[in-house]
Amino acid sequence: MECPHLSSSVCIAPDSAKFPNGSPSSWCCSVCRSNKSPWVCLTCSSVHCGSYRCDDFVVNDTKLGLVQKVREHLQNLENSAFTADRHRKRKLLENSSLNSKLLKVNGSTTAICATGLRNLGNTCFMNAILQSLSNIEQFCCYFKELPAVELRNGKTAGRRTYHTRSQGENNVSLVEEFRKTLCALWQGSQTAFSPESLFYVVWKIMPNFRGYQQQDAHEFMRYLLDHLHLELQGGFNGISRSSILQENSTLSASNKCCINGASTVVTAIFGGILQNEVNCLICGTESRKFDPFLDLSLDIPSQFRNKRSKNQENGPTCSLRDCLRSFTDLEELDETELYMCHKCKKKQKSTKKFWIQKLPKVLCLHLKRFHWTAYLRNKVDTYVEFPLRGLDMKCYLLEPENSGPENCLYDLAAVVVHHGSGVGSGHYTAYATHEGRWFHFNDSTVTLTDEDTVLKAKAYILFYVERQAKAGSDKL
């Protein structure tokens, strides 16, 4: 922020102090008029924000570089304290963590190797997605096997740093911090891991997620996958990620879905293709369009919206099949969605239908639980029944005869759940299966759970993995 008193006073975030003159939520940045994450100078009361137009985080320095000197001094103090505290905590955890992660399975004692993720301030939306992705084996293993990249060297190597605009965008890598986070999970060496380095990179490259407000887990997942895909396409530190992908024949051989350019592990695993078919109701002209996708967003049919629990008696239970059928059924577009017919030379009434032209290796299904009304975003709290095994997608394919029976069956790998009433509030947790056991991930707490508990959850995002080997014949 540009403030004449920067060298002699302090600028703070309004959320970090109490103000006698009412809430600062109505304050606007004097440059871009934004009221998101405002900052105020305690000397002159200038109000600014942390957007790209105004600046990254805090951070125009003085001519003598006083702010940078303060940062370096704080960083040295923090790293010294962090190192001493880490050694002290390690000794305490050597005894306590082992005892706390023991449980009884079939009469014998075993250890939980799962690691939680610390909440950094309403970051449960990020933690739930990270835990889910870490339990998609093929996707997780790819990143864990990437070579480590040292982005910093010299005195700052291995230390935490304060990211500022002066460091530039080239000093952060989402792929690298994502890799480090995945490597820290499932090692069993700690009860919880702090993803602060990854969160700093998220702030750096995804401005929508700056601050400590609650965010939409599905929106974060899409941004995360999109940015991972873009960074992998370009490669970094002299290593071409696409070349690594091509060396993995399992991922590249059957992949035909490319989003925004060349294929990466993101599109190879999550990428599918939809056929969008539109028919003019006046002249019968048919238009076909192929759209790549990383996930499918499904409406919950309105006739089921009053049933909020699995055991509630009023009315039939909504199933995942009902949501999929609603997505792929023939639909007549309303007056606000008139189709521009090239034969009629004007907008006409039409019908629309989706077919799945290519199924992905991991099918991500997002249930649209949040809907905008005139003034706010409401949550659809309907219980949706979903299968743990044998989700059959063959009837939704454009050419089902060209797919083998096993290629259309999916087994559940992870579920993200939103607890609460609104998208800007509440709490996110995740269920995921690892080596045949189900776990519940609630930020830093990880507990063993069972299939019945998972099936009772009000799913928000479901991750299904394509079945490879022949198993039972149970289907949805």
Question: What residues does 392 pair with on adjacent strands?
Answer: 409
Has residue 14 been placed in a domain? Answer: yes
Give the Cβ contact number of residue 166 at 10 Å.
14
What is the signed CA dihedral for 33, 38, 39, 43, rounded to 10 degrees? 60
110 alpha-carbon distance from chain centroid = 31
The one catalytic residue in 54, 124, 364, 408 is: 124
**Tokens coding 85:** 């505290």
Q: Is residue 46 in some structural domain?
A: yes
| Residue 410 maps to a domain | no
**Residue ranges making up the domain that contains 76:** 1-83
CA distance 451 to 454: 5
Q: What is the pTM of this model?
A: 0.71
Q: Secondary structure of the chain: what % helix, strand, coil (to 5)?
A: 35, 25, 45
Kindly state the tokens that stand for 434. Answer: 């690892």
Exactly one of 5, 419, 427, 434 is catalytic; which is it? 427
Catalytic site includes residue 440: no
Is 16 contained in some domain?
yes
- Identify the pLDDT of residue 125: 96
- Kind plus residue range of the DSSP H or E element containing 12: strand 11-12
pLDDT for 237: 41
**Count of CA atoms in the C-beta half-sphere (13 A) of 239:** 14
User: What pLDDT score does 52 carry?
Assistant: 42
For residues 434 and 186, the answer to whether their CB atoms sit within 8 Å is yes
Res 304: pLDDT:
84
Distance, CA of 39 to CA of 59 (rounded, Å): 12
Q: Is residue 20 part of a domain?
A: yes
Burial tier of 20 (Cβ tally within 10 Å: 0-12, 13-18, 19+): exposed
Query: Which of 112, 93, 92 minimizes the C-alpha distance to 102?
Result: 112
| Residue 61 near residue 68 (C-beta atoms within 8 A) | yes
Please state, in angstroms and rounded to a whole number, the distance separating the CA atoms of residues 357 and 366: 19
pLDDT score of 96: 45
> Does some domain include residue 21?
yes
Residue 286 lies in a domain: no
283 is catalytic: no
List the pLDDT tens digit at each of the 476 positions of the chain: 445 444 444 444 444 444 444 455 556 776 666 666 566 665 666 766 644 444 444 445 567 777 667 767 766 765 666 566 555 555 554 444 444 444 444 444 445 678 999 999 999 999 999 999 999 999 999 999 988 776 444 444 444 333 333 334 456 889 999 999 999 997 777 789 999 999 999 999 998 898 888 899 999 999 999 999 999 988 644 444 444 444 444 444 344 455 656 789 999 999 999 999 999 998 888 888 899 999 999 999 988 877 666 666 667 889 999 999 999 988 888 888 888 888 888 898 999 999 899 999 999 999 999 887 767 778 888 999 999 999 999 989 887 766 665 678 999 999 999 998 877 788 999 999 999 999 999 999 999 999 999 999 999 999 999 997 554 445 55
Do the domain assignments include residue 154? no
The total of structural domains in the chain comes to 1
